[in-house]
Amino acid sequence: MKVWMDELINEKVDLQIAPLIDVVFLLLIYFMVSSTLKRTEADLTLSLPGAIAQSTQIEMPDEQVIEIMADGTVMLNNKTYATSKTANLAELEYTLLRYQQASILSKTKAIVTISAADDSAHERVVDVLNACAGAGIKNVTFGSSQ
């Protein structure tokens, strides 16, 4: 028994490094997969156009159509608010804010339809959506471009 105890005491304990490296790599992979580096986009509540047969006549409120051209030009009521070189839509937002206030006073809904060209930049559409949100207009739909 004493010989066996002496062997245990004199035996050198080795630290196995290969399993530790495996655990480190597994933890690294787990954290890389479970983390997110990018914020997810906020939910944009949009009403997409659709065709529904109506049985009764519907009174359509005043509607503003914002046109986005292929070159990035933004137009409302045939007035150009932004070109391909300017990204600031503060004047459009101010016009939409006035439209929103006028519709509140007349007790109607402020409706904006965005009519974007097929090859227009999505960034410009988001800029127009931000201008609508800044003006407090919640009824935004998309229409087809002519």
The architecture in CATH of the region 63-143 reads 2-Layer Sandwich (3.30)
Mean pLDDT of 103-125: 84
Q: Is 89 exposed, middle or buried (0-12, 13-18, 19+ CB in 10 A)?
A: buried
Q: What's the pLDDT tens digit per position in 118-139?
A: 888 888 888 888 888 888 888 8
pTM: 0.56
**First and final C-alpha spacing in the chain:** 98
Please work out, in degrees rounded to the nearest 5, the angle formed at the alpha carbon of residue 100 by the alpha carbons of 98 and 104: 115
User: What is d(CA 75, CA 30) in angstroms, rounded to the nearest whole number?
Assistant: 49
- Give residue limits of the domains in the chain: 2-34, 63-143
Q: What's the pLDDT tens digit per position in 40-68?
A: 666 666 666 665 555 665 454 577 888 88
